[in-house]
Amino acid sequence: MKTNLLLLFVFIYAGVFGQSVIGVDTLRKSGPISKRINLVLMGDGYVTTEIPQYITDATTVSSYLLNTSPFSRYKNYFNVYAIKCVSPQSGVTHAGTATDVTEPASPIINVTNYFDTQFDNYNIHRLIYSNDQNTVYSVLASNFPNYDQVVILGNSTEYGGAGGAYAVSSVNSNSKEIVAHEMGHSFAGLADEYWAGPSYAAEKPNMTATSNTTTIKWAPWIGTNGIGAYAYGTAAPDNGWFRPHQNCKMRYLGSPYCSVCAQTIIEKIHSLTNPIDEYTPSNTGAVGAQWFKSKLIQPNPNTLKRTWTLNSTVMANNIDSVLINAGALPAGNNMLTLTVVDTTNLSRDMNHAAFHTFSIVWSVNKNIIAGLEEAKAQLEFSVYPNPASNVINLKYNVLEAAQLNITVTDLSGKAVIKVDNTKTLAGQYVKEIDVNALTEGVYFLSITLNGQTTNTKFVIFK
Amino acid sequence: MQCNTHLKYRCAITVMAVLMLFSCRAKKINEEKPFPEKAAFYTFEAIRDTVKNTTAFKVLKVTVVDTKLNYSPDNAKANNPNSIKVEITESHKTIVAYADHPLFKKFDLYGDSGEITSKLISLPKAQVTLRVPYFEEYRTIKITETVNFKMSNPILIKHEN
C-alpha cells in the first residue's frame, strides 16, 4: 500500500513538475556489480505512462546486443540496468534543419525531453544525440556511478543514432545495429573499417599501416573466416591503411563482427573482468589442508580451462574444487595454485595467455588445522595398486548417502573413463576399474560426491 | 675496556634497529594506496582560440559520489587523432584519464542500406566529463590536448583555494 502511494506520488510529481528519475530496473543480473561489466541504459522522451514501453525497448536493445556474437558467448559477464527517466514530453525533437536530406524528412516537432535528445544535430538528419551532457552525467552520478557502458534510447521510431562518450539510438528496429557498432568503438576501441578520413587513420586493433600478412597484427587469422589485409581504398592515403575484413559490422551495419573485432571484444571483456568469480577459502595466506573451491563466470560454451597445481605439479584439471589432505602434504608451506585461461577459438591473440591468465595462489600448511573435518566427513578413498597395469581398485568410504560420479582423466583433462553416476548409500565400497585400454602415463581419478570433487593421481605402467 | 666494547655493540645494534624500523616505515608509506570507495565526475569546459590554435580548459563542476571504481585509464583513446590527456594531481597521487577531444567530434552516419560514413565536426565550445577514482580535492590538473595527431603543450589548472 505504502509502495503504491509512493509510486502514485512519483507519477503525479513527474506529471506536474516535469522530469524525474523514478528508479533503476535490473534487466539482467549475472553477478555482483563489482565483478561484472555493467551496461546502463537511459531513456529519453518517455513520459510517465510510457515507462513500461521504455523498459520493453531497453530489454529489446540490450538483448539484441548480448545475443550478438561474441557478446552472446559472454553474456554471463554482463549486468544490464535501465535508469527510468521521466520526460516532461514524449518523443525526440526533430527541428527540420538537416541539410543532408530534403526537410521535412519526418514531421517537425519540438520536444522538451530529459537529455535534450534530438535529430538533425550538426545539420545531419539521422544524427540523434543527447546534448544535455550535464544532465546525462548527473543522472549517472546519482543513480549508477559505476557504469561501464552507457546507451541512451530516444523515444522515436525514426532511424538514427550516434556514438561518443555514450551511445545514442532511436528505437527504430534497425537502430539496434547502431548500438552494436558503437559498442565496437566505445567498448573495444575498434576503428571503423570504412574510410573515415585521414584524420582517423591510426593503428588500432583492426586497422594498420602494415600489409605484410606474416607480420600484420592479426597474422594468426590470415586466411581464416575471410580475414586478410584489405586496403581501405585504391588511392593515397586510403591505400596505405588496411582492414582485416571486407564485410564487418565496423564497416556495414547488419554484418557480423569479423574475427579480429570479435577477438578484440573478448580480450576487452577479460581485461575488465576476472573469470574467477568466487573462491574459498577466501584467505589465501597460510591455511590448513581442506577443500579448496572455485566458481567461474562461464562463457557459453564454457571455454575456460581450470588447472590446479600443488607445488607446480598439476593435480587436476577442469574441476570446481580439490581436497588437500594434510597427510599428503610436505612439511612447511605448500603452494596450491588455481589457474584459469579462456581457450576460446574466437581468440588467437598472441598475448592472450600472457595477459589473461587468472590465478589464485593459496599457501597451504599441513600443521594448520582448518576445514579438514568437514572434508573427511563426506568421503574417504584410496586407489591400489599404484602404479597399475590392467585394473585399479578404488576403495571408498561414503559417510552419508550421496550422488557419486567417478571419472578418470588424462593429463590434458580429457575424460578417458566414466564409471558411475549413481545414488550411493553410506558404507564401504571397493570398485574394480578396468584400465586395460589406457596407455602408459599419469592419470587422475576424480570422485564427485554431491558436487564436491576429490582427486588422486595414479600411474599406468605396462 | 670490555665494558666499553659491549656499550659500542649495544649502541650499534640500537642504531641499526632504529634504522631498520625507519626503513620498514618508509616502505609502508610508499606502498600503493588501494582505490578509495569514492569517484569523481569532473566536468570541463573547453573553448577554442582559433587565432592562437589553442584550447582553454576550465573546471566547471566536480561531483563526488560514494562508489568503488575498478579504474584503469582508457589508453586506447590516446591513439585517437583528437584527444585529451588529463592528469589530476591530489596531494599524494596523480590520476590519469584520456578522452575524445570535446571540440573535435567524429560522428558515424548511417545509411538505409547499412553503409556507414562519417563526419568530423569542429566546435568552438563544448563540455567533457571524466569519471575517475577520488581521494581528495585536486591540487592541479594538467591537460594535454592532441589535435590532428599533434600534441600541444600542457595546460595547468590550479585549485582556486
Give the tens place of pLDDT for each residue, A200-219: 898 999 999 999 999 999 99
* A215-255 pLDDT tens trace: 999 999 999 999 999 999 999 899 999 999 999 999 999 99
At A45-89, the pLDDT tens digits run 999 999 999 999 999 999 999 999 999 999 999 999 999 999 999
Rounded CA gap, A138 and A191, in Å?
29
Nearest alpha-carbon partner for A209 in A184, A228, A226, A229: A229
pLDDT of residue A41: 98
For residue A3, what are the CA distances in angstroms to A6, A8, A48, A432, B140?
Answer: 5, 9, 17, 64, 47
Q: Which residues of chain A neighbour B103 with C-beta distances below 8 Å?
A: none
Residue of A nearest to B129 (CA): A137
Backbone Cα Rg of chain A:
28
pLDDT in tens, A117-148: 999 999 999 999 999 999 999 999 999 999 99
What local confidence, expressed as pLDDT, does residue B4 receive? 54
Average pLDDT over residues B106-120: 87
pLDDT at A401: 66
Residue B121, SS3 per DSSP: strand
Residue to substitute from A126, A136, A144, interface B, most B β-carbons within 10 A: A126
Is B151 near chain A, with CB under 8 Å?
no
pLDDT of residue A12: 46
pLDDT (0 to 100) of residue B26: 35
Q: In chain A, count of helices (H) and strands (E)?
A: 7, 25
Phi, psi dihedral angles at A129 (to 5 degrees): -145, 150
- The reported pLDDT for the residue numbered A345 is 96
Residues A165-200: pLDDT tens digits? Answer: 899 999 999 889 999 999 999 899 999 999 988 888
Name the DSSP letter for residue A192.
P
Looking at the complex, report in whole angstroms how far the Cα of residue B20 sits from the nearest Cα belonging to chain A: 25
Judge whether A64 and A39 are in contact, CB under 8 Å: no
User: Is the pLDDT assigned to residue B78 strictly greater than 80?
Assistant: yes
Which of B58 and A455 is assigned the larger pLDDT?
A: B58
Banded model confidence at residue A295, pLDDT cuts 50, 70, 90? very high
**pLDDT at position B28:** 35
Distance CA A315, CA A313 (A): 6
Q: Is residue B61 classed as helix, strand or coil in its secondary structure?
A: strand
Determine the residue type at A76: N
Please give the torsion angle defined by the CA atoms of residues A307, A311, A313 and A315, in that order, rounded to the nearest 10 degrees: -50
Touching check for B140 and chain A: CB below 8 Å? Answer: no
- Cβ-Cβ pairs closer than 8 A, A with B, add up to 109
Preferred mutation among B60, B65, B116 to probe A, highest tally of A CBs within 10 A: B116
Percent of chain B as helix, strand, coil, to the nearest 5: 20, 50, 30
pLDDT greater at residue A247 or residue A163: A247
The answer to whether A164 contacts B128, with C-beta atoms less than 8 Å apart, is: no
pLDDT value, residue A400: 63
Name the band, by pLDDT with cuts 50, 70 and 90, for residue A15.
very low
How far is residue A180's CA from residue A190's CA, in Å, rounded to a whole number? Answer: 12
> Which of B63, B105, B110 shows the shortest C-beta gap to A164?
B105
